Amino acid sequence: MKKTVIQLPHALEFAQQMSDLSQKKYAAIRRILEEQGYANAPLTEKIEGQKNLFAIRIMTDGNERFFYCYAIADIIYILCGYEKRTRTIPLSELAKALAIKKEIGL
């Protein structure tokens, strides 16, 4: 099912700082989300313990992640991104994503 993918400012800013290869992979995953409405592992993952929060996984030298969530009316919001440097999600990045999600009313 076709979806509309909306990148919020935090996500756009982070994406612009990524390498060309990472930007191409990110664009490809966004297209999959738009066309299919979802993407399977290893491209995306559900954030454990969170309702309606997922991550796009860009596995390059930078190992970037983007948080996203689903909204009504076939909309996917890409909330923000970060460079993953450890095995766990930094609490500050998770808090940022949850704050943005709350700000847009989800």
Q: What is the pLDDT of residue 62?
A: 74
Calculate the alpha carbon distances from 62 to 2, 9, 27, 101 in Å. Answer: 29, 20, 16, 25
Q: For residue 77, what are the domain limits? A: 4-103
**pLDDT score recorded for residue 51:** 95
Burial tier of 34 (Cβ tally within 10 Å: 0-12, 13-18, 19+): middle
Residues in the chain, pLDDT under 70: none
Confidence at residue 48, expressed as pLDDT on a 0 to 100 scale: 95
State how many domains the chain has. Answer: 1
For residues 22 and 58, the answer to whether their CB atoms sit within 8 Å is: yes
Q: Are strands 64-71 and 75-83 parallel, antiparallel or unpaired?
A: antiparallel
Q: What is the DSSP letter of 37?
A: S
pLDDT of residue 43: 96
**67: CATH:** 3.30.2310.20
